[in-house]
Chains A and B, each alone.
Chain A
Amino acid sequence: MSTDVKATNFELREGPNGIKLPIYMDNHATTPVDPRVLEEMLPYFTDKFGNAASRNHAFGWTAEEAVESARERIAKLVGATTKEIIFTSGATESDNLAIKGVAEMYREKGNHIITAVTEHKAVLDTCKRLEKYGYRVTYLPVQKDGLVDLDDLKRSMDDKTILVTIMAANNEIGVLQPWTDIGKLCHERGVIFHTDATQAVGKVPIDVIKQNIDLMSISAHKMYGPKGVGALYVRRKNPRVQISPIIDGGGHERGMRSGTLNVPGIAGLGKACAIASEEMPKESCQLAGLRNRLRGRITGRLDEVYINGSMDHRLPGNLNISFAYVEGESLLMGINDIAVSSGSACTSATLEPSYVLKALGTGDDLAHSSIRFGIGRFNTEAEVDYVADRVCETVERLRELSPLYEMAKEGVDLKNVKWAAE
């Protein structure tokens, strides 16, 4: 970084009403490690540092015990059995393992994979790579509310379809897909159903059996666990799902994922799941309450704000709003004591706004104007109020600066303006 560029200041400072600034409200990007999780992890760095694969001494047994206890806690949270949980380095690896693993294992059966355009890049780019190796991939569109149309899904299945991979909850708009129905459709046709549940695990109830899920990607750091650890659920019964490994080596994790296990990370993921099992019902109500408060305070004060994605099928802590006539990055700049994300991609070389919002049919102009709020376990009502006020003030100020807002107020229909291309 050059010297004339200001480095971001990470030191917390006092804000009004006892809040600390900057406020973190980007919990879809990552979450802080819960202190209870950290406490669980710490011994496994130092005293209990053994390799879980060491079978002939106490160091190894202790580590293995920690791993197996974590496996139980994860399995319990999602309704699986312990043998169905495979540890990985995170959800990106889990997505790769699930999709590439099925593609290789079931190549004789077929070469067709179905996914959706709003998936995470870990799924989309994995599918794109498989296309290079002769697989056929259908990228389903989504409806205006972000949901996949089940009839579309049904129509796109054929006798060569081996896998459907549709995420549980979207990382930008928080929209929850109809997993149970998708899984049912898949099972009726003998197709494997994988879901990237990175954003959903620990936030909304999941039961892999009831919801007909065959493979499910899990990440620790989106649920108050550490970064660099995750898991893949692999169904063992009705149907038994088999996957080829993508990492070869010592044959850990039933041969599906070689590599010495990240014991402290796994212990942390286990604890994060145990906490979620206990606290999810209360926490999801609290998060939805805060989210609705934020939404109410913003929509009560500003005109021409648009919610992106279904409000009925949505993660409790997610809000994604477009503020018409204001560009997202300039809005982020104005609320620089608040950490949120923008769907505008003014910082990227392509200048392409969010592909997820575009898939909903949101115009590029509104996609550029969008902000994603991710409310999490440690956010408070005072923080929500502060965020709402700062966002509204900044939008008002930037609209005063916006030629588009001026034109709209003068009654100009912006759609009919002939914009000079650069």
Chain B
Amino acid sequence: MAYSDKVLDHYSNPRNVGSLDKASPNVGTGLVGAPECGDVMKLQIKVNPETNIIEDAKFKTFGCGSAIASSSLATEWVKGKTVDEALAIKNTEIVKELSLPPVKIHCSVLAEDAIRAAIHDWKKKQGVAAEVPEGSRASH
């Protein structure tokens, strides 16, 4: 099948490939998809706790060219946004930007899921992180 120029560009020069320290309290990790389905995306965000702005984002993807492009684009889009702004990103915007054909729409859905999962993970950590220092303070 033929790919759009934007998909080819992200595939050949993926943005923000790599990993962040998943143990860091400021990092949220989303791992979505399944190997049996032919798509797995890992998307990580590093959030400034003062501003809730996503300062860095990284991804790794096992999947077709459209899946790689969707996750690469997702990291570009979330960077510089607040967590709430990033949550508002819709898969349809990814479809439009990359001119994905109907059979590849699931790739964009997975990218949206990856953003949500990363933010969810980060939020969960904030809940835990907020409790732990308080608890340790109380013990003094």
A interface residues, Cβ below 8 angstroms from B: 1-2, 4-8, 325-327, 329-330, 333-334, 344, 346-349, 351, 353, 363-365, 368, 400-406, 414, 419-422
Distance between A31 CB and nearest chain B CB, rounded to angstroms: 23
Q: Does B48 contact A (CB under 8 A)?
A: no
Contact with A along B25-48 (1 / 0, CB 8 A): 000000111111111111000000
Q: Does B80 contact A (CB under 8 A)?
A: no
The answer to whether B2 touches A330, judged by C-beta atoms less than 8 angstroms apart, is: no
Please tell me the size bucket of the interface on B: 35 or more
What residues of chain A lie closer than 8 Å to B117, measured between beta carbons? 420
B interface residues, Cβ below 8 angstroms from A: 1-5, 8, 11, 14, 17, 19, 31-42, 60-65, 67-68, 99, 103, 106, 109-110, 113, 117
- Interface of chain B, helix or strand or loop or mixed? mixed
The answer to whether A5 touches B99, judged by C-beta atoms less than 8 angstroms apart, is: yes
Residue pairs across A and B with Cβ atoms less than 8 A apart, 24 shown, are A1-B2, A4-B5, A6-B8, A326-B62, A327-B62, A327-B64, A329-B38, A330-B64, A330-B67, A333-B11, A333-B65, A334-B11, A346-B103, A363-B35, A368-B36, A401-B14, A401-B60, A402-B61, A403-B41, A403-B60, A419-B33, A420-B117, A422-B33, A422-B37
Task: Please give 11 more A-B residue pairs, beta carbons under 8 A apart, in addition to A368-B36, A401-B68, A419-B40.
Answer: A4-B5, A4-B99, A5-B2, A6-B2, A7-B2, A325-B62, A327-B64, A347-B1, A364-B35, A365-B38, A422-B110
The answer to whether A422 touches B62, judged by C-beta atoms less than 8 angstroms apart, is: no
Most A CB within 10 A of own CB, among B4, B41, B109: B4
The answer to whether B99 touches A403, judged by C-beta atoms less than 8 angstroms apart, is: no
Contact of A365 among B1, B17, B35, B106 (CB under 8 A): B35
What residues of chain A lie closer than 8 Å to B113, measured between beta carbons? 420, 422
With contact pairs A325-B62, A404-B35, A422-B37 given, residues A330 and B4 touching in the complex (Cβ less than 8 Å): no
Please list the 7 inter-chain residue pairs (A to B) with the smallest Cβ-Cβ separation, ordered nearest first.
A419-B34, A365-B35, A403-B42, A364-B36, A403-B60, A368-B38, A329-B64
Distance between B41 CB and nearest chain A CB, rounded to angstroms: 7
Identify the closest chain B residue to A347 (Cβ): B1
Complex: how many Å from CA A419 to CA B110?
13
What residues of chain A lie closer than 8 Å to B5, measured between beta carbons? 4, 6
What residues of chain A lie closer than 8 Å to B109, measured between beta carbons? 422
Complex: how many Å from CA A232 to CA B91?
51
The answer to whether B4 touches A351, judged by C-beta atoms less than 8 angstroms apart, is: no
Distance between B65 CB and nearest chain A CB, rounded to angstroms: 4
The answer to whether A327 touches B31, judged by C-beta atoms less than 8 angstroms apart, is: no
The answer to whether B103 touches A349, judged by C-beta atoms less than 8 angstroms apart, is: yes
With contact pairs A4-B4, A6-B2 given, residues A404 and B62 touching in the complex (Cβ less than 8 Å): yes
